Amino acid sequence: AVLNHDGYGGSTDRLIIKDGCASITEASCPDKVCIRTGKIHKTGELIVCLPNRVVVSIEGEEED
């Protein structure tokens, strides 16, 4: 799935959910920390884009 977020102050983020992982692949923020975070897939992991006010988190049961 590809989700494009049009948000705070005209900001944009592209979230990709594929093969059980989530990642932000494009963002209008200046520092791109959210992109450099890479793919997340474990419960409790986060991707945060503070300038664009976006938080992506993995929730659910812990897996063994």
pLDDT by residue for the chain (64 residues), tens only, comes to 777 767 778 889 999 999 999 999 999 999 999 999 999 999 999 999 999 999 999 998 866 5
Helix (H, G, I), strand (E, B) or coil at 33: helix
Residue 15's pLDDT is 94
Pick from 31, 44, 38: nearest CA to 15: 38
pLDDT at residue number 63:
62
The pTM of the full predicted model, rounded to 2 decimals, is 0.81
Tell me what pLDDT residue 48 has. 96
pLDDT of res. 61: 80
As a whole number of angstroms, the distance between CA 36 and CA 34 comes to 6
The Cα–Cα gap between 37 and 39 comes to 7
